[in-house]
Structure 1
Amino acid sequence: MLVMEKAPAKINLSLDVLNKREDGYHDVEMVMTTIDLADRLEFRELSADKIQLSLESRYVPSDERNLAYKAAALFKETYKINKGVHIRIDKSIPVSAGLAGGSADAAAVLRGLNRLWQMDISLTELADLGAQLGADIAFCVYSKTAIAKGYGELIEFLPAPPACWVVIARPDIGVSSYTVFDQINLPELEHPDTKEVLEALNEGNFSKLCNHLGNALEPITFSMHPEVAKLKEAMRLAGAEGVMMSGSGPTVFGLMKHHRKALRIYNSMRGFCKDVQLIRMLG
């Protein structure tokens, strides 16, 4: 039996950090949605009780260090599954890019194994399970538009953003979210107006959404990697209607209502970095 799962990337429409918890995590408030950029996973049952992971990426390990492998191991342990599985990952989401590629893969593993072994486990339970491994996995299990609170495990669904085009541009660097969060100085953070972002989604107001995109981590990543700030400014000057860094970076995205303008900005940004894509919003 072959089971296939799609693992869409996410972008942040708002990212705020509220405080640091006693367990070392930060309480966050993140409005996120998905975009039409995805990894694809295939699952086949093995006769031997083991996990095999295969993918072609020199940047991603194919052993127990991989978040997808950890998700499979946690699923087997939690539900006492004495069967093996081979998981093939076709990577399209860049690594360490602020697009939750690893979390999306882990979430897809939970959904895929649920189908492969016909467990009939709810998405809510899978999201709770995934939250044990990483902050974005609960959101990625659902892959809708939502606000995530706590350290990312508390999910409330929101209306999808108005239909639009997204240009994503990524400089040839990787950014560790752990490094960025370690540099947070809470009294100095500039907090986005999350309330306005929520209102824009509820109203279906594209202009209002673009005008209130906000990411409290931008100044930290910009100070560490000035090329990310330059990329954002270049996209703004090119005419994108809303521009922001996703997650802890380094990917910058721009939102455009019309395809002709999006295509022009896409071509313009290709002069600044190699990894530029023009895609649709999902959510």
Structure 2
Amino acid sequence: MKVVKAPAKINLTLDVVRKRDDGFHDVEMIMTTIDLADRIHLTPLHTNRIMIDVTKGYVPNNENNLAYQAAQKLKERLGINKGVSIFIDKQIPVSAGLAGGSTDAAAVLRGLNDMWGLGLTMEELAEIGLEIGSDVPFCVHGGTAVARGRGEQLEFIDSPPPCWVVLAKPPIGVSTKEVYQRIKVDQLTHPKTDVMVQAIESENFKQVCDHLENVMESITFNMHPEVRKIKERMKQFGADGAVMSGSGPTVFALTQNDSKAERLYNGLKGFVEQVYPVRLLGKKHT
């Protein structure tokens, strides 16, 4: 059996640049990994099939699961007649804007590449991952990157300064599709992606916090006012910076101060059930 770590991602910035002719949107965003992770257990099977089991009941345990699709794509692409049992120990909240499904798929690609001795490069695995979802290529590599296009064009940069990341997710789901449908690109105030890159590369934590920005925030806040309240609480409890991740509903706060991280955690726990104090990872998988 092989166990692979599948870390969540957060968006330090998220910009929507334009709507494309195919109905999708071009984005520009900075993503980084955090130490909140699912564990993927891969066990070889003697029969040529894929089995999947998940600790959380509301995650699909069939071909609708992105981890299942990752194994299926590998088998199809390389003509593999082997079976695998995939068990997902789910720690990342579901439908939270943290790429939980995408990172599971990426971990399966990395794990099976190793277990089956396929010898594929990270770039080749990322290319297969793109057929599953636009966040999967980033999750294959991990680390910190500026993502463009649909999220698949990756420019890797330095890791942000080490800090605490305190995440809070309200008990709601957000439809990414619905958020995108409400975006009016010509009315957006665009994040300064280049300034955030400079802040990260100069290890200027204050500047990183000052330039956290997500153009989807106002839309999700209007649809779900409780998400706005979480961000306001984070500011009240002393967060150095706070912003929503992805299309939400998870909001995260950054701080380098241990006691401030504890205060944020304790203060938010009285307001919302799912709160996670974790560290920034930001390093690429090898």
User: Same fold by TM (over 0.5)?
Assistant: yes
Q: Deviations over 1:72-99 (max 9, x none)?
A: 1111101111111111100000000000
What secondary structure does 2:128 align onto?
helix
Structure 1 residues not aligned, in runs of 5+: none
Partner of 2:114: 115
Please show how residues 77-226 of structure 1 align to structure 2 within 5 Å. 77-226=76-225
How far off is 1:183 after superposition? 1.7
Distance 1:268 1:56 in 2: 28
Partner of 2:22: 23
Identity of aligned residues (%): 54
Distance 1:110 1:38 in 2: 16
User: Please, what TM-score do these two structures have when normalized by structure 2?
Assistant: 0.97
Distance 1:133 1:24 in 2: 18
Distance 2:178 2:9 in 1: 20
Please show how residues 28-39 of structure 1 align to structure 2 within 5 Å. 28-39=27-38
Partner of 2:45: 46
User: Please, what TM-score do these two structures have when normalized by structure 1?
Assistant: 0.98
How far off is 1:182 after superposition? 1.9
* Aligned partner letter, 1:126: L
Partner of 2:259: 260
Q: Deviations over 1:20-40 (max 9, x none)?
A: 112222111110101110000
Distance 1:231 1:5 in 2: 32
Distance 1:182 1:107 in 2: 27
Does 2:60 match 1:64?
no
What secondary structure does 1:279 align onto?
strand
Q: How many residues align?
A: 282
Q: Deviations over 1:59-80 (max 9, x none)?
A: 1110011111111111110111
* Aligned partner letter, 1:81: I
How far off is 1:180 after superposition? 1.3
Two-structure CA RMSD over aligned residues (Å)? 0.8
How far off is 1:133 after superposition? 1.3
Distance 1:231 1:70 in 2: 34
How far off is 1:181 after superposition? 1.3
Distance 2:58 2:29 in 1: 27
Q: Deviations over 1:186-236 (max 9, x none)?
A: 112221111111110110100000000000100111111010011111101
Structure 2 residues not aligned, in runs of 5+: none
* Aligned partner letter, 1:197: M
Q: Deviations over 1:98-122 (max 9, x none)?
A: 0000000010011011011011100
Distance 1:24 1:133 in 2: 18
Distance 1:225 1:282 in 2: 29
What secondary structure does 2:107 align onto?
helix
**Which consecutive aligned stretches of 4+ in structure 1 deviate over 2 angstroms post-superposition?**
none
